[in-house]
Amino acid sequence: MSIPADLKYTPSHEWVRVEADGTLTVGITHHAQDLLGDMVFIENPAAGRTLAKGEECAVVESVKAASDVYAPVAGEVIAANGDVEASPEAVNKDAYAAWMFKIKPANPADVNELLDAAAYQKLVESEAH
Amino acid sequence: MNQAALKQTPLNATHRELGAKMVDFGGWDMPVNYGSQLSEHHAVRSGCGLFDVSHMLPLDIRGANVRAFLRRLVANNVDKLQVSGKALYSCMLNEAGGVIDDLILYFMDENWFRLVVNAGTAEKDLAWMEKMNADWGMGLTLTPRRDLAMIAIQGPDATRVLNEALPGVDPITSTLKPFNAAAMGEMFIARTGYTGEDGFEAMVPAKSAPFFWKALMEAGGKPIGLGARDTLRLEAGMNLYGQDMDETTSPLESGLAWTVDLKTERDFVGRRALEASEVTKQLAGLVLLDKGVLRSHQKVHTRHGEGEITSGTFSPTMQQSIALARIPLGIAPGEDVEVEIRDKKLRAKVVKYPFVRNGKILI
Residue B105 lies in a domain: no
Q: Is A110 on the interface with B (CB under 8 A)?
A: no
Contact: A38, B36; criterion CB under 8 Å:
yes
Domain span at residue B352 reads 280-361
Q: Residue B4 has what pLDDT?
A: 61
Across the A/B interface, how many CB contacts are shorter than 8 Å?
Answer: 35
Bridge partner list, B91: B102
Q: Is A66 on the interface with B (CB under 8 A)?
A: yes
The pairing of strands B360-361 and B356-357 is antiparallel
Would you say residue A1 has pLDDT above 80?
no
Average pLDDT, stretch B251-272?
97
Q: Residue B5 has what pLDDT?
A: 87
Would you say residue B242 has pLDDT above 80?
yes
Residue of B nearest to A129 (CA): B1
Average pLDDT, stretch B274-300?
97
* DSSP H or E stretch at residue A102: strand A101-105
Residue B96 lies in a domain: no
Would you say residue B314 has pLDDT above 70?
yes
Residue B298 lies in a domain: yes
Contact: B227, A37; criterion CB under 8 Å:
yes
Q: Which residues of B touch A59 (CB under 8 A)?
A: 342
**pLDDT (tens digit per residue) in B209-232:** 999 999 999 999 999 999 999 999
Number of Cβ atoms within 10 Å of the Cβ of B175: 10
Q: Residue A127 has what pLDDT?
A: 84
Would you say residue B343 has pLDDT above 90?
no
Bridge partner list, B307: B300
Phi, psi dihedrals of residue B34, rounded to the nearest 5°: -110, 20
Q: Residue A128 has what pLDDT?
A: 76
Q: Is A46 on the interface with B (CB under 8 A)?
A: no
Contact: B292, A61; criterion CB under 8 Å:
yes
Q: Give the gap in angstroms from C-alpha B14 to the nearest C-alpha of chain A.
A: 21
Average pLDDT, stretch B142-153?
98
Would you say residue B35 has pLDDT above 70?
yes
d(CA B144, CA B183): 18
**pLDDT above 70 covers what percent of chain B?**
99
Residue of A nearest to B320 (CA): A40
Q: What CATH number is associated with residue B302?
A: 2.40.30.110
**pLDDT (tens digit per residue) in B123-136:** 999 999 999 999 99
Question: Which strand ranges, in their side-by-side order, compose the sheet holding A24-28?
Answer: A8-9, A14-18, A24-28, A101-105, A75-80, A50-51
d(CA B357, CA B182): 24
Residue B343 lies in a domain: yes
Asked whether the CA dihedral B229, B196, B282, B291 is positive or negative, the reply is: positive
> What is the number of domains present in chain B?
1
Please count the residues of chain B: 363
Contact: A63, B295; criterion CB under 8 Å:
no
**Residue B274: left if φ>0, alpha if ψ -120 to 50, beta else—which one?**
alpha
Average pLDDT, stretch B180-201?
97
Q: Which residues of A touch B32 (CB under 8 A)?
A: 37, 64
**pLDDT above 90 covers what percent of chain A?**
95
Q: Which residues of A touch B41 (CB under 8 A)?
A: 63
- Nearest-5° Cα angle at B141, B135 to B147: 135
d(CA A123, CA B323): 36
Phi, psi dihedrals of residue B125, rounded to the nearest 5°: -60, -45
d(CA B254, CA B33): 28
- Predicted ipTM? 0.87
Residue B313 lies in a domain: yes
What domains can you pick out in chain A, each with its CATH number?
Answer: 8-108 (2.40.50.100)
Q: Residue B3 has what pLDDT?
A: 53
Nearest to B285 by CA among B361, B343, B177: B361
Would you say residue B13 has pLDDT above 60?
yes
Would you say residue A26 has pLDDT above 80?
yes
d(CA B363, CA B355): 6
Q: Give the gap in angstroms from C-alpha A22 to the nearest C-alpha of chain B.
A: 32
Q: Give the gap in angstroms from C-alpha A38 to the nearest C-alpha of chain B.
A: 7
Residue B66 lies in a domain: no
DSSP B13-41: HHHHHTTPEEEEETTEEEEEESS-HHHHH
Would you say residue A44 has pLDDT above 70?
yes
Q: Residue B2 has what pLDDT?
A: 53
Contact: A64, B293; criterion CB under 8 Å:
no
Nearest to A66 among B32, B291, B293 (CB): B293
Contact: B314, A37; criterion CB under 8 Å:
no
Would you say residue A68 has pLDDT above 90?
yes
**pLDDT (tens digit per residue) in A98-118:** 999 999 999 999 999 999 999
Nearest to A63 among B37, B291, B292 (CB): B37
Contact: B291, A43; criterion CB under 8 Å:
yes
